[in-house]
Amino acid sequence: MELWLSLLVVAIVVVFLVSRNNKKRAEAELADAQAEARRLHERLGGQTMNLTAPGDNLPAGQALADAGERYTAAGSQLEQARTINQYRLAAETAIEGLHYVRAARTAMDLDPGPEIPQMRGQRRTGALTEPVSAEVEGRRYTGSPDPSDENRHYYPGGNVDGRPVPAGWYNTPWWQPALAGAAGAFVGMMVLDALITPAYAMGAVEGGYADGYQDGYADGGGDAGGDAGDAGGGDFGGGDFGGGDFGGGFE
pLDDT in tens, 197-214: 999 999 999 987 777 665
Q: Which amino acid, 51?
A: L
pLDDT at 95: 96
pLDDT at 78: 97
> Model confidence at 240, in pLDDT bands (50, 70, 90)?
very low
User: In the chain, what percentage of residues exceed pLDDT 70?
Assistant: 79
pLDDT at 186: 80
**165 burial via Cβ count (<10 Å: 0-12, 13-18, 19+):** buried
Tell how strand 153-155 and strand 127-128 pair up: unpaired
pLDDT at 178: 57
> Model confidence at 180, in pLDDT bands (50, 70, 90)?
low
Q: For residue 215, what are the β-bridge partners? A: none
Q: What's the distance, CA 232 to chain centroid?
A: 14
For the chain, counts of helices (H) and of strands (E): 8, 8
pTM of the predicted model over 0.85:
no
Nearest-10 Cα torsion for 12, 16, 18, 23: 160
Between residues 7 and 186, which one has the greater pLDDT? 186
Q: For residue 158, what are the β-bridge partners? A: 165
Query: Where are the domains positioned within the chain?
Result: 2-112, 122-240
Say which residues have a Cβ less than 8 Å from residue 94's Cβ, sequence separation at least 6: 37, 40, 41, 43, 44, 70, 71, 74
Spatial separation of the C-alpha atoms in residues 109 and 17, rounded to whole Å: 57
pLDDT at 234: 34
Phi, psi for residue 90 in degrees, rounded to 5:
-65, -40
Strand residues in 90-171 grouped as ranges (E): 127-128, 132-136, 139-144, 153-155, 158-160, 163-165, 168-170
Spatial separation of the C-alpha atoms in residues 79 and 72, rounded to whole Å: 11
pLDDT tens-digit map of 153-175: 999 999 888 889 999 999 999 99
pLDDT at 244: 34
